[in-house]
A and B are shown apart, each in its own frame.
Chain A
Amino acid sequence: EAGVAQSPRYKIIEKRQSVAFWCNPISGHATLYWYQQILGQGPKLLIQFQNNGVVDDSQLPKDRFSAERLKGVDSTLKIQPAKLEDSAVYLCASSPGDTDTQYFGPGTRLTVL
Chain B
Amino acid sequence: SQQGEEDPQALSIQEGENATMNCSYKTSINNLQWYRQNSGRGLVHLILIRSNEREKHSGRLRVTLDTSKKSSSLLITASRAADTASYFCATDAIRGSTLGRLYFGRGTQLTVWP
Contact = CB atoms under 8 A, between A and B. Distances in A.
Interface of A: 4, 31, 40-45, 48, 55-56, 58, 91, 93, 95, 97-107, 109
Instruction: Using C-beta atoms within 8 Å of the partner chain, give the interface range for chain B.
Output: 20 to 34
Interface string B28-44: 00110101000011111
A47 to B, nearest CB: 11
A104 B105 contact: no
B61 interface: no
A99 B44 CA distance: 16
B44 A104 contact: yes
A48 B42 contact: no
Contacts, number: 59
B45 A42 contact: no
B13 interface: no
Main secondary structure of the interface of A (DSSP, over half): loop
Nearest to A10: B40
Nearest to A98: B100
| The 5 A-B residue pairs with the shortest CB-CB distance in the complex, in nearest-first order | A42-B104, A98-B100, A104-B42, A56-B98, A104-B43
Contact of A99 (B41, B90, B100): B100
A105 B49 CA distance: 22
B107 A106 contact: no
Main secondary structure of the interface of B (DSSP, over half): loop
Contact of A42 (B31, B33, B100, B107): B107
A30 B107 CA distance: 28
B88 interface: yes
Residue of A42, A93, A99 ringed by the most chain B CB atoms within 10 A: A42
Contacts of A104: 35, 42-45
10 contacts: A42-B90, A42-B105, A42-B106, A45-B101, A55-B98, A55-B100, A93-B42, A99-B92, A100-B100, A102-B43
Contacts of A100: 100
Given A42-B88, A48-B98, A97-B100, A102 B106 contact: no
